[in-house]
Structure 1
Amino acid sequence: MNFRVLLASSFAILALSATAQERGYRGFIDITYNKEATFSQEYEYSGNKKKDLNKIEMTYSNGYQFNKYFYLGAGIGLSFPTDRDNTFIPVFIDTRFYLDGSKFTPYFSLRGGYEMCKSGNYLFNESKTYSYEDKPFINPSFGVRYRFHKKLAVNANIGYQFKKESEYFESQQYGGSSYYTSKRNKIHNYNAITARVGFEF
């Protein structure tokens, strides 16, 4: 009887120890490539199509691992379009749901937040400019994590970002004997396929 009690107590201590190792502070450094998945739309007065807004993004998030299944944190980053001078700053809540606490495990991630545009204008050509407004976004993704140390891991995931984007388009045009400014504010979907790799500590 005493042996059974001792054995049960040993398993309980090991389980509590494993759970304790999963809890605590976690930090993530990630690099993401965003490939625009919405179709480029032609502006009715430009005669040119808007280029896809593909981005390279670097983010840092930190938070708390509540158990081997659930992480909650917050982050900030810098996002750079591949063919424009704008700089975007995403600020977000970061959640991760792991299948288990093993060294190699799949997980589901959900990011949601707000993306601010640091530099306002993008020169379309000599007489036309874009400017962007800040908008919210949500980014679900699925990935895998490989933990090579108790608190160190690498991860990779593929996801899809949903975002409403507002663009202000200004064009200098000639009408009759003088130039005038044509202005247009357009809100459209900016959806993107996301590919992310990162380091966890």
Structure 2
Amino acid sequence: MRGYKGFVETGYIFDLSDYDANRFTLSTTHGYQFNNYLFVGGGLGLNCYTDADLYSVPIFASFRANFTKNKITPFADIKSGYAAGDVEGAFVTFGVGVRFALAKKMALNLKLEYAYQEYDYEYYYGSHYYYDNESINGIGIKFGFEF
């Protein structure tokens, strides 16, 4: 399993903070599979917030570990980067899931994920601009295809 590896994931994050920041997510990740266990890459995504007409585009580094090399194997991954758009700020996700092998380099993935997103914003008050940030936390489920 050494060489190029790509992933496409979609899912839904349920907001745990007080901001109604539930979101539909779609992302693609590409990188290098070093062996049956370790993947390193980067990716790009799209978050569509369902309770507001807001969007963000996360750009991230991705690290993934498969725990066995069986046809059905547990895995964990971390993605970290910056989201641009209506909801801007640094973010990190931690996921654990199960990989279901289909063919030599293809598989389906099911993952439970915790997402932390900083929300950097500015506002105008009393003839001054102010900058602040909040954190948006959520738990989600993701479905993916790897190739």
Q: 1: CA distance between counterparts of 2:52 and 2:144? A: 25
5+ residue gaps, structure 2: none
Shift of 1:87: 1.8
TM score, norm. by length of structure 2: 0.90
Q: 2: CA distance between counterparts of 1:65 and 1:72? A: 7
Equivalent of 1:156 in 107, 110, 116: 110
The ranges of structure 1 where at least 4 consecutive aligned residues each deviate by more than 4 angstroms after the TM superposition are 180-185
Q: 2: CA distance between counterparts of 1:53 and 1:169? A: 19
**How do 1:71-90 residues align onto structure 2 when only pairs under 5 Å count?**
71-90=39-58
Aligned-pair RMSD on alpha carbons?
A: 2.0
| CA shift digits 1:1-52 (9 cap, x unpaired) | xxxxxxxxxxxxxxxxxxxxx1011110100211111134xxxxxxxxxxx0
Q: Among all aligned residue pairs of Structure 1 and Structure 2, give the percentage whose two residues are the same amino acid.
A: 30
Shift of 1:168: 3.5
Shift of 1:183: 7.0
Matched, 1:26 2:2: no
Structure number having the greater helix percentage: 1
Residue identity matched to 1:90: P
Q: Which has the higher contact order (CA 8 A, sep 6+)?
A: 2
**How do 1:56-75 residues align onto structure 2 when only pairs under 5 Å count?**
56-75=24-43
Shift of 1:77: 1.3
May I ask how many residue pairs the two structures share in their alignment? 147
Structure number having the greater strand percentage: 2
Q: 2: CA distance between counterparts of 1:37 and 1:111? A: 19
**How do 1:99-110 residues align onto structure 2 when only pairs under 5 Å count?**
99-110=67-78
Q: 1: CA distance between counterparts of 2:25 and 2:96? A: 18
Residue identity matched to 2:67: L
